[in-house]
Amino acid sequence: MRRYFSILSTKLTHTLFQDTNDLKLVLEQAATMLRELKTSLLTPKNYNELYMKVLDEMRYIEDFFNQLNKAGKPMVELYELVQHCANVVPRLYLLIAVGSVYIKSGEAPAKDILKDLIEMVKCVQYPTRGLFLRNYLSQSSRDKLPDTGSEFEGAGGDVTDAYEFVLQNFCEMNRLWVRLQHMSGGNKEGRKKREKVSERTSKAGGNDKCSWLRTAFVVKLTLSLNFTASQLYYRGTSRFALGAGEERLEDARRHKSCPPESA
């Protein structure tokens, strides 16, 4: 574990992204850092520690991309450029970071970028890597969904596009979570519960808009609480818990206006 933290601390610091305008250098150094997330040698707990170190640096990378956008750099060019990264995991993290800025720029509809990202992350199927990658996608996109009242609603999509994205991401996270539990030898009862949630998730749907929103909310809540519990166990801090709690409360407030289902 020390080797990974050593690489992050010696080869890459956030000062690089603040002190240079060399896009090629930043992408090279970012890819070097993100390659460490390709490892299959760490336990989920240690992988989470590494992920949090990387996440701290990713904020500076996103700020760097924001500055490029403000300076007039077309985001479509940057979005295509990072796809030339040779390794899949670094490429996808960089795509999500650029995609986040791309959506904010308004240069393309939010729904198109989100659909593109949700399709691309499917290629990472190793449970630990896939779960944390999708968590980063969820965190990066949470304030950029074309939800009702959002600045991205309209040409960027609508609430259906938002929930299709959220639901698909959490469905895939659930499947990866089940696989991770099988790999780690989780208890039999826990596996059965997770498999039942996975089955309900695959059949989720509704005939009207409110039924759809209610189903999506229940599935999202079930899966996110499951994932939140694991994060609390691995992380041992309140930072994730507070953020997740606020998101769940906001979801509850948003959907309480739906009329109750008829018997």
Q: What is the pLDDT of residues 28-68, one digit of tens each?
A: 989 999 999 999 888 888 899 999 989 988 998 999 999 99
Q: Quick one: average pLDDT of 117-131?
A: 93
At 80 the pLDDT is: 95
At 131 the pLDDT is: 92
Among 32-36, 148-152, 189-193, 255-259, the range scoring the smallest mean pLDDT is 255-259
pTM of this structure: 0.70
Question: Does 122 have pLDDT greater than 80?
Answer: yes
CA neighbor of 169 nearest in space, from 137, 191, 198, 197: 137
Q: CA of 222: how far to CAs of 194, 199, 219, 226, 229, in Å?
A: 10, 13, 5, 6, 11
At 180 the pLDDT is: 83
Q: Quick one: average pLDDT of 204-223?
A: 49
At 242 the pLDDT is: 47
Average pLDDT, the chain: 76
CB of 232 within 8 A of CB of 240? Answer: yes
Highest averaged pLDDT of the listed ranges 133-137, 206-210, 244-248: 133-137
Residues counted in the chain: 263
At 101 the pLDDT is: 96
Q: Quick one: average pLDDT of 80-84?
A: 94
pLDDT band at residue 250 using 50, 70 and 90 as cut-offs: low
Q: Quick one: average pLDDT of 152-181?
A: 89
Q: Which segments of 12-109 does DSSP mark as H helices, in order?
A: 15-19, 23-34, 44-70, 75-81, 88-105
